Amino acid sequence: MTEQAFFELRDVSKSFGGLSVVDRLTLHVDEGEIVSLIGPNGAGKTTVFNLVTGIYRPASGEIRFRGRNVAGLPPHKITQLGIARTFQTLRLFLNMSVKENVMAAAYGHTRSTMVEAVFRLPRARREEREIAELAEEKLAFFGPRLAGYRHDQQAYNLSYANRRRLEIARAMATNPSLLLLDEPAAGMNPAETHELTELIGRLRTDGGYTVLVIEHDMHVVEGISDRVIALDHGVKIAEGSFDEVATDDRVVEAYLGRQGPG
């Protein structure tokens, strides 16, 4: 039968109020790959991430990660198995420090009980130290952008681009092997976008992550992708190299059909 993929969706469907949003979607990502998911607004891209991370349960189909069907598992289980994501609308704690934001993301993974943490029992103290170190390590990945004095700055004070970087650091905090990035370049200027393209490459080479990224900026998509998958109305309409997908008639049509305000 089929060889076991690192990550795959098989015939996954989801509808809301009778409207089909993801329609028998099949796709895979190999270990170490960087794959982009593109498509016009409303194509169902974020819903795919919500299905994969357990926010929604698919009506049918399988979501397989390292040989296991994770469809319908609760979000924390899926995180534990090694999938983490960023959100299109950032989920930062703006009144917490940069480092605390990453630590908070890591906390779900520690073994201390609430009682131990509240009373700062030895195991909780040790874990807090370990988590602080882990947060520093993840933040170091972003170089001077999130280094030094920035660790103690409130997230509120960060530029928009740095908030997007911090969102990625938070996803890294759970030590995933598969990173799902939802529009990481949104709101970035061209220089920041260029830097992000490099960063995503480093997530693979230095970080060892496999990456599935939703992105609208075609410079980014071209710069990072081993493969591109295009969705429209929840259906896969094209898949292949950037050049193949960008020139595909159905893809061009899907984007032209949705042009205009909004």
Ligand X SMILES: Nc1ncnc2c1ncn2[C@@H]1O[C@H](COP(=O)(O)OP(=O)(O)O)[C@@H](O)[C@H]1O
List residues near ligand X by CB under 6 A: 16, 21, 39, 41-47
Q: Which is nearer to Mg ion, 45 or 164 (CB)?
A: 45
Q: Which is nearer to ligand X, 14 or 165 (CB)?
A: 14
- The option from ligand X, Mg ion, none interacting with 41 (CB < 5 to 8 A, set by class) reads ligand X
> Would you tell me how many other CB atoms lie within 10 Å of the CB of residue 189?
12
Provide the minimum distance between the beta carbon of 91 and Mg ion in the complex, in angstroms, as a whole number.
14
Q: Which is nearer to Mg ion, 53 or 112 (CB)?
A: 53
Q: Smallest Cα–Cα separation from 204: which of 12, 29, 21, 1?
A: 29
User: Which residue of this chain has its Cβ atom nearest to Mg ion in the complex?
Assistant: 46
Contact residues for Mg ion, defined by CB under 5 A: 45-46, 88
Q: Could you give the angle at which helices 122-140 and 98-107 cross, rounded to 10 degrees?
A: 120
Provide the minimum distance between the beta carbon of 215 and Mg ion in the complex, in angstroms, as a whole number.
10
91 within 8 A of 169, measured Cβ to Cβ: no
Phi and psi torsions of 212, nearest 5°: -115, 120
Q: Smallest Cα–Cα separation from 84: which of 60, 113, 61, 108?
A: 108
- The option from ligand X, Mg ion, none interacting with 112 (CB < 5 to 8 A, set by class) reads none
The span from the CA of 195 to the CA of 123, in Å, is: 39
Provide the minimum distance between the beta carbon of 41 and ligand X in the complex, in angstroms, as a whole number.
4
The span from the CA of 31 to the CA of 192, in Å, is: 27
- The option from ligand X, Mg ion, none interacting with 43 (CB < 5 to 8 A, set by class) reads ligand X
Q: Which is nearer to ligand X, 207 or 234 (CB)?
A: 234
Place of tokens 């960008």: 246
Provide the minimum distance between the beta carbon of 187 and ligand X in the complex, in angstroms, as a whole number.
15
Provide the minimum distance between the beta carbon of 11 and ligand X in the complex, in angstroms, as a whole number.
18
